[in-house]
């Protein structure tokens, strides 16, 4: 039964008349997951989760309480709990907020779907099993796996100062991988890096012809890697495909630019940042070819929305322009505390979590170089695809990433396939070595549903898009058998 959230707001306001401001955010999450291994059904699960987060402002301090009981009694109880929390926290507040950090936005957003039909369980499982079989191109393939998730999030938010936000997000994604073995050499190849292929949309996201083609390619390349030489060691030009650029942007730009981390809020759990508040506005983050934007407006990208979870209207904002850091990922609360301009990124994973500074869609803008021109300009390099492993320090500074598949670049041509390619660097110097950025023909959009942050932990959907990029004098190396 549809909940009248305006009625619930009136109940909350009656319960705590001393509150300066009250907001209600109702969230309904539906998720279905299926998986197959070696061409056979593995498991399926899912469900629906629904509840309300009630937020109260009292003497400049916010208090929160969540409940799945949306009766009058349940809402009044939650309002009392939130108000008590604000009262208790008030003497220890780190900043005195006002209603300006909760805008009275009127926003409607719905995912654009080409196909609005459902996802029949039988057809979906059959497709996953077929993908497993398509990847089994040789007896050397010892395991194939495919999984998918599809879901919907419905968010309604109202407040006593007039906010009224309604958003419905539909998403889905599929991941596939093949594992090959020859003696003591084991190699894995996935379709675009496991769960990177998650997007907003409808049934059109599960195009069977495309999925089977990608599964076959994964199996073929896994077998190819068994006879490939290890990636050489030394400094050379590194070319990263968009499916690896996704992780590079996420780890060494996205998390580093979250203002709550810069302020120290996340240091106990997720860490801090090598960026300081004083850096924003003049710090040279990368070469003049580096342009990074927060952009929650791309229709298919996973973290697109009309407003964040406090009702701040979402618009495209540049964070890095011509290599200079000009902004950061800070919500209205973080903007007040830091005195810096930010973006609409105060987001929560569900109804039972308060919103905090999060990435959404964070994209590296396309440049002017074609893929062929990038490769032809390199004498000694390596091209890497699809993340396999990652490690980065708690200040998002020193990192080491491994990829699934590599190709040597010799005298302007792609030559031998190499296995176990890895690279390492320091964020600032790495991005300043950016020497070529692919044009729009190389630009690809990706998304992942599992970015974790916060205490208690919140796992949230983020999107990243990037063209092919080249970096000069990067330390690359092989590893493993």
Question: Quick one: CA dihedral 225, 229, 235, 237, positive or negative?
Answer: negative
Q: In the prediction, which pLDDT does 405 show?
A: 97
At 372, which helix (H) or strand (E)? helix 371-376
Task: Return the pLDDT at 258.
Answer: 96
Specify the DSSP class assigned to residue 409.
E
Q: What is the tens place of the pLDDT at every residue in 424-462?
A: 999 999 999 999 999 999 999 999 998 999 988 999 999
Q: What CA–CA distance (Å, rounded) separates 37 from 43?
A: 9
pLDDT at 267: 86
Pairing of strands 398-410, 422-426: antiparallel
- How far is it, in rounded angstroms, from Cα 105 to Cα 99? 12
Low-confidence ranges of the chain (pLDDT < 50): 481
Q: Judge contact between 20 and 99, C-beta under 8 A.
A: yes
Phi, psi (deg, nearest 5) at residue 87: -60, -45
Q: Which two tokens stand for residue 136?
A: 């089994």
User: What pLDDT was estimated at residue 481?
Assistant: 45
How much is the pLDDT for 193?
A: 63
Contact (CB, 8 A) for 47 and 31: yes
pLDDT value of residue 480: 57
Surface-to-core class of residue 50, CB atoms within 10 Å of its CB (0-12 exposed, 13-18 middle, 19+ buried): middle
Angle between helices 121-135 and 208-226 (to 10 degrees): 30
Contact in structure between 37 and 144 (CB atoms under 8 Å): yes
pLDDT of residue 149: 93
| Residue-level pLDDT at 118 | 75
Tokens 């092919």 map to which residue? 468
Q: Give the per-residue pLDDT at 194.
A: 56
pLDDT value for 61: 98
Question: Measuring CA to CA, which residue among 118, 234, 184, 186 is closest to residue 388?
Answer: 186
Beta bridge partners of 456: none
């Amino acid at each position: 039964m549809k909940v009248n959230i305006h009625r619930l707001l009136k109940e909350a306001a009656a319960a705590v008349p001393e509150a300066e401001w009250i907001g209600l955010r109702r969230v309904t999450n539906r998720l279905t997951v299926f998986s197959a291994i070696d061409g056979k059904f593995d498991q399926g699960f899912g469900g629906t989760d629904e509840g309300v987060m009630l937020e109260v402002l009292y003497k400049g301090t916010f208090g929160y309480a969540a409940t799945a009981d949306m009766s009058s009694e349940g809402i009044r109880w939650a309002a009392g709990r939130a108000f008590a929390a604000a009262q208790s926290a008030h003497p220890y507040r780190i900043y005195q907020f006002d209603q300006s950090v909760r805008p009275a936005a009127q926003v409607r957003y719905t995912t654009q779907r080409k196909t609005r039909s459902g996802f029949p369980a039988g057809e979906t499982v059959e497709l996953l099993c077929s993908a497993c079989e398509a990847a089994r191109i040789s007896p050397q393939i010892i395991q194939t796996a495919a999984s998918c998730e599809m879901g919907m999030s419905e968010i309604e938010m109202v407040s006593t100062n007039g906010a009224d936000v309604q958003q419905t997000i539909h998403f889905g994604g599929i991941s596939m991988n093949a594992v090959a073995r020859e003696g003591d050499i084991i190699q894995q190849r996935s379709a675009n890096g496991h769960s990177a292929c998650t997007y907003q949309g409808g049934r059109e996201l599960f195009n069977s012809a495309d999925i089977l083609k990608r599964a076959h390619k994964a199996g073929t390349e896994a077998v190819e890697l068994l006879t490939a030489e290890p990636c050489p060691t030394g400094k050379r030009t590194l070319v990263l495909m968009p499916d690896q650029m996704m992780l590079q942007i996420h780890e060494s730009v996205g998390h580093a630019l979250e203002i709550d981390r810069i302020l120290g809020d996340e240091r106990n759990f997720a860490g801090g940042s090598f960026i300081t508040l004083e850096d924003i506005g003049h710090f040279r983050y990368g070469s003049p070819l580096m342009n990074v934007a927060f952009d929650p407006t791309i229709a298919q990208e996973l973290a697109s929305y009309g407003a964040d979870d406090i009702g701040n209207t979402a618009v495209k904002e540049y964070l890095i322009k011509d290599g200079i850091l000009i902004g950061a990922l800070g919500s209205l609360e973080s903007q007040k505390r830091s005195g810096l301009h930010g973006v609409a990124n105060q987001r929560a994973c569900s109804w039972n979590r308060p919103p905090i500074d999060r990435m959404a869609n964070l994209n590296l803008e396309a440049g002017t170089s074609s893929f062929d021109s990038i490769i032809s300009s390199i004498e000694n390099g390596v091209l890497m695809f699809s993340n396999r492993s990652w490690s980065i320090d708690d200040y998002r500074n020193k990192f080491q990433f491994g990829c699934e598949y590599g190709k040597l670049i010799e005298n302007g041509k792609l030559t031998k396939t190499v296995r176990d390619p890895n690279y390492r660097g320091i964020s600032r110097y790495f991005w300043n070595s950016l020497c070529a950025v692919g044009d729009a023909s190389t630009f690809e959009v990706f998304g992942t549903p599992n970015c974790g942050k916060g205490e208690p932990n919140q796992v949230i959907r983020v999107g990243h898009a990037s063209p092919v990029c080249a970096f000069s004098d990067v330390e690359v190396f092989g590893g493993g058998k």
